[in-house]
Amino acid sequence: MKKPTVRMSLKTKLVLIIFLIAVILSTMTLLASSRVIRDMINNHYKEHAEALSATAALELPVEDVEAVADAAYGIYQKTPEKVMSDGWGSPAFDAYIAEYAEVESTPAFQNLLEKLRAIQEINDADCVYVAMLVPEDEVLMYLVDADLEEPCPPGCLDPIFEVNRPILTDPMRGFPPYITDTEEYGWLATAGVPIVGSDGEVVAYCMVDLTMEDIVAQQNRFILITAILLLIAAVLIGIIFSLVLNRTIVSPIKKMSEAAKKYTGGVIDQDMREFANLDIHTGDEIEELAETMKDMEQDVHRYFTNLLSTKAELQVKSDEVETMNKLANMDAMTGVRNKRAFQTQTERLNDWIQSKNGTHRFAIAMVDLNDLKKINDAYGHEKGDETIISLCNTICGVFMHSPVFRVGGDEFVVIMEKGDFKRREKLVELFQKKIFELQADPTLEPWEQISAAIGYAVYDPEQDKTAEDVLARADAAMYACKKEMKAGKQ
């Protein structure tokens, strides 16, 4: 009788089987952990987007939203040629958007834009905007977009995604949070909350976009590194088991194979301990392999647990850092930004000056309180503090769109850019008028009759090398004002 030809040795079969088991186990572990992590990240961003949109909706004045919505919709109805946002940059699109230019100049639009940008900056959101639904055309029309780089202008139209089509029949449903991945915007978490008008009907929606590009990239790197490590582990396991040649090899391998099959059933339970429950005592490499599988199982579970714990700790640390940054840049007495925050802003302006970008203009105003020592001596430091706070409130009330900094005991600085830069002379005159009114008001207490000098300087590339040069000229102008005020009293 002819003996059968051995095509594959038992050793090779054992190596292949164990290697296959290790690969399957590693792959299922990787897939399960990455799926769980991705779901956790998606849910976190969706919850954050929904919460932020709800909070922002409550902060917006409904009357302003109604005014902008009515103005935009009136123009929309009168415009025969509507161009969707996919025609961005075309002559037809530009002509269509030009019809809405008057909307951007309204006080209601400017007020909403200011509030949305403040919310966007505080919450580090990718984009916060207000849009209204035009159900008859199944489109969403942008009203106010707080994006700093390339905002969608009023009248810009987007189609309603399939996932959001129920809103056409149920406006109060809003835009439940959803995740999108587009070539133009990348990974985004989006949510929208309805803004209800005075008549109880939905006027518009407060929308929030949160970018997920960085976290998705980190997750992909994690998956790649983990896959490589698990592949290395699988190779090592195959090499170890290739040394097993004794007669007691079949039974232990069968036990381990049965344990591994439970991990290939689909869903991996975090509390599964299949290898840990094996009772193998062969006194050779098989027993060593069993212990190795147990250690690997513990490492996987430990890594999984540590990953969840680390995520929670990172969130706590992030919140703490955000709070500390806010406190570090805020003046405790007045609540405005402090000298440290001003230094950060001057660094930003200096970077711009060094870049030699001549398209940007700014001015710096210096405000100094008069007679603070007299108030402190006559009425006490507590009244002096009230005078400083009252002056700060007056400055903030006039320069509403510019950052205000307390850089000394009774010294304040204002950086004017964009709209406030163009209105700088009127704003300075308004401030001086406010101070004059406070001084002339006989109903006020002496410490409430504020006297303050103001001076400002406009950045001039011909004579200013740094923002500090502009500040020095503003300071000189302020002292000239102070000297003039003292001369007027004599």
> Hey, what amino acid is at 422?
K
Q: Let me know whether 235 and 364 are in one domain.
A: no
Burial 349-365 (b: 16+ CB within 10 A, else e): beeebeeeeeeeebbbb
Q: Let me know whether 196 and 257 are in one domain.
A: no
Tell me, what's the pLDDT at 285?
72
Domain stops at, among 211, 231, 263: 211
Q: Let me know whether 173 and 276 are in one domain.
A: no
Q: Let me know whether 241 and 373 are in one domain.
A: no
Bridge partners (DSSP) of residue 56 are none
Angle between helix axes 10-59 and 213-241 (nearest 10 degrees) is 160
Q: Let me know whether 145 and 129 are in one domain.
A: yes
Measured between alpha carbons, how far is 161 from 173 in angstroms, rounded to an integer? 14
327 falls within a domain: no
Pair of tokens at residue 157? 């139209």
Q: Let me know whether 356 and 418 are in one domain.
A: yes
Q: Let me know whether 82 and 200 are in one domain.
A: yes
Domain stops at, among 211, 229, 258: 211
The answer to whether residues 4 and 223 touch, using CB atoms and an 8 Å cutoff, is no
The answer to whether residues 223 and 26 touch, using CB atoms and an 8 Å cutoff, is no
CATH number at residue 387: 3.30.70.270
The H or E element containing residue 287 is: helix 285-328
321 falls within a domain: no
Measured between alpha carbons, how far is 189 from 45 in angstroms, rounded to an integer? 6
CATH number at residue 130: 3.30.450
Tell me, what's the pLDDT at 291?
77
Q: Let me know whether 354 and 403 are in one domain.
A: yes
Q: Along the 490 residues of the chain, how does pLDDT read in single tens digits?
A: 555 555 666 567 666 777 678 778 777 776 777 788 888 888 888 899 899 888 888 989 999 999 999 999 999 999 989 999 888 989 999 999 999 999 999 999 999 999 999 998 888 788 899 999 999 999 999 999 998 888 999 999 999 988 899 999 999 998 999 888 877 778 888 899 999 988 889 999 999 988 887 676 666 776 778 778 767 876 776 677 666 555 667 677 777 767 666 666 555 565 667 777 777 777 777 777 777 877 776 765 666 566 445 555 645 555 555 655 666 889 999 999 999 999 999 999 999 988 876 567 999 999 999 999 999 999 999 999 999 999 999 999 999 999 999 998 899 999 999 999 999 999 999 999 999 999 889 999 999 999 999 999 999 998 999 999 999 999 999 999 999 988 876 5
145 falls within a domain: yes
| Pairing, β 404-406 against β 157-159 | unpaired
The residues, ordered by sequence, that sit 6+ positions from 480 with a Cβ below 8 Å of its Cβ are 455
48 falls within a domain: no
Q: Let me know whether 65 and 147 are in one domain.
A: yes
65 falls within a domain: yes
Domain stops at, among 211, 246, 270: 211
Pair of tokens at residue 271? 């509390």
Q: How many domains does the chain have?
A: 3
Q: Let me know whether 68 and 188 are in one domain.
A: yes
Residue 130 Cα distances to 108, 142, 208, 210, 233, angstroms: 13, 6, 9, 15, 52
Q: Let me know whether 289 and 344 are in one domain.
A: no
- Expressed as residue numbers, the domain containing 410 is 339-489
| Vertex 195: Cα angle to 193 and 197 (nearest 5) | 160
Q: Let me know whether 199 and 256 are in one domain.
A: no
334 falls within a domain: no
DSSP helix, strand, coil percent of the chain (3-state; round to 5) = 60, 15, 25
User: What 3-state DSSP class applies to 85?
Assistant: helix
Tell me, what's the pLDDT at 282?
77
2 falls within a domain: no
Instruction: Give all strands of the β-sheet with 411-417 in edge-to-edge order.
Output: 404-406, 411-417, 362-369, 452-458
Tell me, what's the pLDDT at 316?
54
Tell me, what's the pLDDT at 382?
94
Measured between alpha carbons, how far is 193 from 422 in angstroms, rounded to an integer? 35
42 falls within a domain: no
